[in-house]
């Protein structure tokens, strides 16, 4: 390998054929790339091809463009390479040691070392693309994973451009590789957030919704331990709603955070805490030591500026958390606050509706809601009173239940009530039952909003027996009156 200028560090030769990376933009196919670097490389190729066509040597052309290449490398953090295909000689420019987690100069400067660092699932595909590039001049543009010294991997993109001689033969290739790990991680975080939103849409099960949130937080952070605590409003304690990972010690000692505990007081401050093990303060240093925690992210969950829960994410191996991951976890914590409030409100509404249903169903009166000429609600007493099933009551016009002689009066009063007019709220009228019999009811009605539109809530008391008794009394009194009048008439 040719010696490079002192200001440029020598970097391991790339696998037999490799490419470059892109970070500032995208090409027509949506691939990421670095505009300035590509422009510099294409200019170098043009210069080299011009020199070759003019019968000058490739080495001379390389020397002429050395300054150009130096500028390209100095303007980017990418790894740049120059490959002589005929001799298989490769020159690298850039700090590949730092990119792969090695001390300076410790990553082997060999093609084999780079190839061995390729992720096993990507190796064959990358090498096949590089060989096609060298043999046919096909554009080399490959994304792959490369393994760092600590076993983690980074996402790289390689892109190479060929140089041809005067006869059109491929003699060299130049290119660069770009680390797009953060970009891919950002995309992954976006997918996780979108998937979480879909899973939470319309969810009414609190436990399952919180499990989805915790799983998303674990995926985004790549940490191995997590817990969501929910505040018990009565006791002030924080109770674990769901866990991910954790030892028996953790489950035993951290299932409930008492209201007066240091943990609970910390959460109630409302500010996220991110700390590595050596930064833990008493009593947390002693409490977390048995668990082997190396990093702690505790994020209070607020809703309307009030702490209602906490998201805790922990690691046994990591010692830091990138700012972008912290932002994503805090966004999930905000989601948790909305979810807890939404589901709690819905559960409260369901409980209220259940109480209302029990009242309606056990009332001694027929209860109906009338809107647009139809019954929108009818309790069991309405069915018992009229002889119609509930399904029938909700499918016929309520006018059909009113005796023909009383319909105009009842309908007029119903419309006046909907218009907000004030008049007597209680009055009797006759109804026609399913079997054709006639009964009497006394109505007490109020105007309400039903599904955001005007309606009436009507309480109907069966007064048929009272009316029959009143009629019997009236007839008895009439007979008595007639007898009295007959007795008092003079004899003829």
How many Å apart are CA 248 and CA 243, to the nearest integer? Answer: 12
Average pLDDT rounded to a whole number, residues 1-28? 39
| Residue 389: predicted pLDDT | 94
pLDDT over threshold 50, residue 6: no
Query: Are 142 and 129 within 8 A, CB to CB?
Result: yes
What are the tens digits of pLDDT across the range 175-225?
888 899 888 988 988 899 888 888 888 667 888 999 999 999 999 999 999
Task: Report the CATH number of the 217-351 domain.
Answer: 3.30.450.40
User: Of 445 and 85, which is predicted with more confidence?
Assistant: 445
Q: How confident is the model at residue 12 (pLDDT cuts 50, 70, 90)?
A: very low
Q: Closest Cα partner for 187 from 389, 37, 5, 328?
A: 328
State mean pLDDT over 474-483: 81
User: What does the pLDDT average to over 142-167?
Assistant: 90
Confidence bin at 460 (pLDDT 50/70/90): very high
Half-sphere exposure of 123 (CA within 13 A, CB side): 11
Report angle CA 330, 297, 310 to the nearest 5 degrees: 60
Model confidence at 306: pLDDT above 60: yes
**What average pLDDT does this structure show over 356-381?**
87
pLDDT at 281 over 70: no
Has residue 423 got a pLDDT over 80?
A: no
- Where in the chain are the domains? 25-179, 217-351, 363-471
Q: What percent of the chain has pLDDT over 70?
A: 80
pLDDT at 463: 92
Mean of pLDDT values over 362-375: 89
Asked if pLDDT for residue 327 goes beyond 80, the answer is yes
Please tell me the distance from the alpha carbon of residue 168 to that of residue 272, in angstroms, as a whole number: 62
- Over residues 412-430, the mean pLDDT reads 88
CA dist., res. 252 & res. 235, Å (int): 19
Rounded to whole angstroms, the Cα distance separating 274 from 308 reads 19
* pLDDT surpasses 60 at 393: yes
What pLDDT, on the 0 to 100 scale, is given for residue 61?
56
Q: What is the pLDDT of residue 15?
A: 42
Q: Which of 26-35, 41-50, 462-471, 482-491 has the lowest mean pLDDT?
A: 26-35
Contacts 24+ apart (CB under 8 A), 186-195: 186/324, 188/219, 188/220, 189/220, 189/324, 189/325, 189/328, 192/216, 192/219, 192/220, 193/328, 193/331, 193/332
- Burial letters 305-339, b for 16+ CB under 10 A, else e: eebbbbbbbbbeeeeebeeebbebbbbbbebbbeb
> What residues are paired with 319 via a beta bridge?
none
Indicate the range of 7-16, 148-157, 232-241, 419-428 predicted with least confidence: 7-16
CATH architecture, domain defined by 363-471: 2-Layer Sandwich (3.30)
What dihedral do alpha carbons 274, 280, 282, 286 form, nearest 10°? 120
300 has a pLDDT exceeding 90: yes
Residue 1, pLDDT score: 34
Q: Quickly state the pLDDT bin for 125 (edges 50, 70, 90).
A: very high
Task: Indicate the pairing of strand 170-179 with strand 79-84.
Answer: antiparallel
Cα dist from 341 to 213, 337, 345, 467, whole Å: 14, 6, 6, 52
The three-class DSSP label of residue 129 is helix
As a whole number of Å, the end-to-end CA separation of the chain is 153
Residue 235 C-alpha from the chain's centroid: 30
For residue 330, pLDDT over 90 is answered with yes
Q: What is the mean pLDDT of residues 250-279?
A: 86
Specify the pLDDT at position 121: 96
Q: Measure the CA dihedral 380/381/384/385, to 10°.
A: -150
Q: What is the chain's mean pLDDT, rounded? A: 81
Residues 90-104: tens digit of each pLDDT? 777 778 888 899 998
Nearest to 295 by CA among 326, 333, 249: 326
Write the class of the CATH domain 25-179: alpha beta
Checking if the pLDDT of 11 tops 80, the result is no
- 193 by Cβ neighbours in 10 Å (0-12 / 13-18 / 19+) ranks as middle
């Amino acid at each position: 390998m040719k010696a490079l200028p002192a200001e440029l560090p020598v970097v391991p030769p790339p696998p037999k054929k490799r490419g470059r990376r892109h970070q500032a933009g995208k090409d027509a196919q949506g691939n990421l790339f670095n505009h300035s670097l590509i422009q510099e490389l294409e200019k170098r190729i043009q210069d080299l091809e011009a020199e070759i066509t003019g019968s000058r040597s490739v080495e001379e052309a390389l020397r002429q463009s050395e300054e150009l290449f130096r500028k390209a490398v100095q303007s980017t953090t990418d790894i740049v390479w120059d490959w002589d295909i005929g001799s298989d000689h490769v020159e690298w420019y850039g700090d590949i040691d730092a990119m792969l987690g090695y001390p300076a100069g410790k990553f082997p400067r060999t093609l084999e070392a780079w190839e061995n660092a390729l992720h096993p699932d990507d190796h064959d595909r990358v090498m096949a693309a590089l060989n096609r590039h060298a043999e046919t001049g096909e554009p080399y543009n490959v994304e792959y994973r490369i393994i760092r010294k600590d076993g983690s991997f980074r996402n790289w993109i390689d892109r190479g451009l060929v140089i041809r001689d005067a006869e059109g033969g491929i003699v060299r290739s130049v290119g660069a590789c770009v680390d797009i790990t953060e970009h891919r991680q950002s995309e992954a975080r976006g997918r996780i957030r979108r998937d979480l939103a879909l899973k939470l849409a319309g969810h009414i099960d609190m436990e399952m919704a919180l499990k989805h949130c915790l799983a998303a937080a674990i995926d985004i952070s790549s940490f191995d331990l997590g817990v969501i605590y929910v505040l018990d409003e009565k006791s002030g304690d924080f109770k674990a709603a769901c866990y991910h990972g954790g030892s028996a010690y953790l489950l035993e000692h951290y299932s409930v955070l008492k209201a007066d505990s240091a943990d609970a007081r910390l959460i109630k401050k409302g500010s996220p805490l991110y700390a590595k093990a050596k930064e833990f303060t008493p009593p947390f240093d002693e409490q977390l030591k048995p668990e082997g925690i190396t990093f702690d992210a505790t994020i209070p969950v607020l809703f309307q500026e009030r702490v209602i829960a906490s998201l805790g994410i922990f690691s046994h191996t990591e010692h830091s958390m990138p700012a972008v991951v912290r932002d994503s976890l805090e966004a999930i914590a905000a989601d948790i606050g909305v979810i807890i409030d939404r589901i709690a409100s819905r559960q409260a509404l369901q409980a209220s509706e259940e109480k209302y249903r029990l009242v309606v169903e056990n009332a001694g009166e027929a209860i109906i809601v009338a809107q647009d000429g139809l019954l929108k609600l009818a309790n069991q007493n309405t069915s018992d009173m009229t002889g119609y099933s509930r399904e029938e009551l909700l499918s016929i016009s309520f006018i059909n239940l009113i005796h023909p002689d009383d319909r105009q009066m009842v309908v007029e009063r119903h419309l006046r009530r909907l218009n907000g007019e004030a008049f007597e709220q209680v009055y009797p009228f006759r109804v026609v039952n399913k079997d054709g019999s006639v009964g009497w009811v006394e109505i007490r009605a109020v105007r309400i909003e039903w599904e955001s539109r005007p309606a009436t809530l009507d309480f109907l008391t069966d007064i048929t027996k009272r009316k029959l008794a009143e009629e019997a009394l009236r007839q008895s009194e009439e007979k008595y009156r007639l007898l009295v009048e007959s007795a008092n008439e003079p004899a003829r």
